[in-house]
């Protein structure tokens, strides 16, 4: 491979184009040489992003032609969720590095099969397979994780993540209106958050109890099909409580009809010695310590006053394209490219990506069956 990493983009919808914008912003050392999508308007919209005629990638309607073209050192898979497994099977058979969008898959059995396929292909070849989980790279989130791991809050007891936002965006053919295509909202939207919980706590959950439903969004939509009209079935609001081996707990609070908010994403880490908070899009990080607690076993600072809490805005000035994820995709692409050049392993591998999917699927089962669900019911232990 030359000093320039040649990228192929499989899937030219909004996320595929977002990846291209990040790669263009990286400048020298990377090039988008090929794209693939069966949807002609998506291909044309992607080709229109090229800055110059020399930047214009070769376009394919079939991803297999891209993989066989010899034009790519690495591919980005940004197709609809339910196609990821098939795309990965073909990409794993090719001599390329892979960055695959979340969620990794929509079915556990597909993920287990892909882990085995990667194990068989990677004997001595050193080709990366990296699952895109860009939320961990958002500057205030990355700083929160760093501080948490340095003990800034003491021993972590609780993690909570709240996202209050707008409904799902339109997609080609509205494929994301149906859980069979997405894996369910708690897989499609929230695998990022379940992965963040694992990252912060540095352990994997043992069980989940969830409550949720489709309360407001898409209730008046109807889609034709071979068996008659279908109504969207995607959940739009939920709570999920996760228990961990150490006794720590995590909470997810999701509402997708709550766009009338200021900071729609709020991550909180509480330990026995303090508290950390990350807020987006304000890029705010808050940190406070219980200064007297533990020395005197007495009340520390009174709550609700803000006394002893530092507040700062966190940004990374090296980011050249903020995009839709506060620069996180740009940072992830930098690290992916660096891992390729330096021969380092993926920061988020297939097993980790599958664990995030498993928590989402277990959460949906908990909602459907109105009970606590052990993660081992969904994913074999040890993955």
Give the pLDDT of residue 124: 59
pLDDT at 300 over 60: no
Helix (H) or strand (E) holding 350: helix 350-369
The model's pTM is 0.94
**243: its two tokens:** 């228990």
Contacts of 94 (CB under 8 A, 6+ apart): 67, 68, 75
Residue range 113-143, pLDDT digits in tens: 999 999 988 665 689 999 999 999 999 999 9
Confidence of residue 293 (pLDDT cuts 50, 70, 90): low
Residue limits of CATH 3.40.50.720 in the chain: 5-134+326-349
Q: What percent of the chain stands above pLDDT 70?
A: 96
| Maximum alpha-carbon separation in the chain | 70
Query: What architecture (CATH level 2) is domain 136-319+357-377?
Result: 2-Layer Sandwich (3.30)
Res 226 pLDDT > 90: no
Give the Cα separation of 284 and 266 in Å (integer). 10
pLDDT tens per residue across span 196-206:
999 999 999 99
Q: What percent of the chain has pLDDT over 90?
A: 88
Average pLDDT over residues 36-61: 94
**CB neighbourhood size of 87 (10 A):** 23
Q: What homologous superfamily does CATH list for 5-134+326-349?
A: NAD(P)-binding Rossmann-like Domain (3.40.50.720)
Judge whether 276 and 150 are in contact, CB under 8 Å.
Answer: no
Looking at the chain, which residues constitute the CATH 3.30.360.10 domain(s)? 136-319+357-377
Average pLDDT over residues 209-234: 91
Q: Is the pLDDT of residue 83 over 60?
A: yes
């Amino acid at each position: 491979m030359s000093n320039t990493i040649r990228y192929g983009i499989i899937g030219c919808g909004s996320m595929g184009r977002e990846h291209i914008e990040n790669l263009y912003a990286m400048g020298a050392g990377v090039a988008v040489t090929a794209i693939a999508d069966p949807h002609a308007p998506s291909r044309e919209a992607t080709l229109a992003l090229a800055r110059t005629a020399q930047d214009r990638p070769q376009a394919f309607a079939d991803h297999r032609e891209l993989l066989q073209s010899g034009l790519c050192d690495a591919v980005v898979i940004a197709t609809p969720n339910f196609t990821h497994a098939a795309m990965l099977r073909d990409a794993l058979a090719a001599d390329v590095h892979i960055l695959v969008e979340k969620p990794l898959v929509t079915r556990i059995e597909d993920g287990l099969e892909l882990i085995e396929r990667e194990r068989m292909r990677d004997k001595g070849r050193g080709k990366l397979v990296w699952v895109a989980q860009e939320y961990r790279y958002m500057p205030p989130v990355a700083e929160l994780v760093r501080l948490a791991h340095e003990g800034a809050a003491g021993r972590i007891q609780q993690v909570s993540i709240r996202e209050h936002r707008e409904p799902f965006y339109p997609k080609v053919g509205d494929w994301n209106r149906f859980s069979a295509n997405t894996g369910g909202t708690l897989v499609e939207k929230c695998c990022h958050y379940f992965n963040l919980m694992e990252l912060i706590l540095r352990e994997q959950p043992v069980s989940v109890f969830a409550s949720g439903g489709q309360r407001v969004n898409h209730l008046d939509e109807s889609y034709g099909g071979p068996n008659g009209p279908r109504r969207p079935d995607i959940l739009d609001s939920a709570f999920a409580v996760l228990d961990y081996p150490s006794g720590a707990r995590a909470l997810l609070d999701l509402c997708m009809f709550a766009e009338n908010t200021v900071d729609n994403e709020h991550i909180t880490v509480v330990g026995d010695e303090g508290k950390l908070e990350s807020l987006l899009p304000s890029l705010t990080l808050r940190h406070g310590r219980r200064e007297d607690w533990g020395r005197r076993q007495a009340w520390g600072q009174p709550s609700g006053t803000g006394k002893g809490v530092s507040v700062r805005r966190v940004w990374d000035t090296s980011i050249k394209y903020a995009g839709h994820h506060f620069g996180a995709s740009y940072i992830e692409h930098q690290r992916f490219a660096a891992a390729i050049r330096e021969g380092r392993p993926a920061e988020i591998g297939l097993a980790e990506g599958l664990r995030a999917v498993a928590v989402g699927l277990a959460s949906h089962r908990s909602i459907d069956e109105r009970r606590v669900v052990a993660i081992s019911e969904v994913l074999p232990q040890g993955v």
